[in-house]
Amino acid sequence: MTKKYLIVANWKMNPDAPGRAVLLANKIERSLGRIRNVEVVLVPPFPFLLPIAAVIKRAKLGAQNVFWQDCGPYTGEVSWHQLNHIKVDYVIVGHSERKLFLGETDEMIHDKVRVLLENDMMPILCVGERERIGDDIPAIVGEQIKAALKGIKKNLLKRLVIAYEPIWAISTMPNARPDTPASAFRALIYIRKVVSELYGRTVGDSVRIIYGGSVNVKNIQAFLEEGQMQGALVGSASLDAMEFAEIVMIASRVGK
């Protein structure tokens, strides 16, 4: 049975110029010619969304953030409506770097998830613990999910992606180390359990769950096979076109 994985390139605040961003997007786009069973999403900084939208056909476009109002006096913010106009499909919500460095709260994350789901866009909801003691997935992960989805209707959940992103595993964090596939699998089971308790087993089993945190060509296969993740949120490795293309190719081979 063929599996369709979701591989998301989160470029964060990189590269430093539009020409480099378009060059990177073009290189990745060319590498996707023979890929059939992987959905690839490029998520550049806001200023590069339009030029990249103009050059990609196989990859989809994502944004790194969104505001929950349609328009108004919100200096520096970008709405779902504005993103929708330039064919953005996915939006990363609640990334740990925004929580840690910019003070994003559970309430803000909830409002962003809600407005995206209500307007036929696909949030990539990031959840994960700051530290781990022992093998059990900390309850904070479940609390983040419950807060983000509070009051959201069941029928909207088909567009939701949850990215398990243990903060201690993100390459930008001090002493970062990737999680293990076995641990990621425990997180996947835990997340499905939490969603099932909120919305029932059918929804819990169907929501897409991907892994984020120091993903590279050496570990992606194990996270997909042993960890049974349905894709990956790739950070620094997505800035190298050749490495990211190999990550996508590995996912394609695993999915056959």
Which residues have CB under 8 Å from 202's CB, separation 6+? none
Helices marked H in the chain:
18-31, 49-53, 80-85, 96-102, 106-118, 139-149, 181-199, 201-206, 220-225, 241-255
Active site (annotated) includes residue 165: yes
Cα angle for residues 33, 159, 13 (degrees, 5° grid): 65
> From the candidates 29, 39, 95, 110, which is the catalytic residue?
95
> From the candidates 29, 39, 97, 165, which is the catalytic residue?
165
Contact 92, 62 (CB under 8 A): yes
Contact 37, 6 (CB under 8 A): no
Q: Which of 46, 54, 5, 1 has its CA nearest to residue 26?
A: 54
Active site (annotated) includes residue 143: no
Hey, which residues are catalytic here? Answer: 95, 165
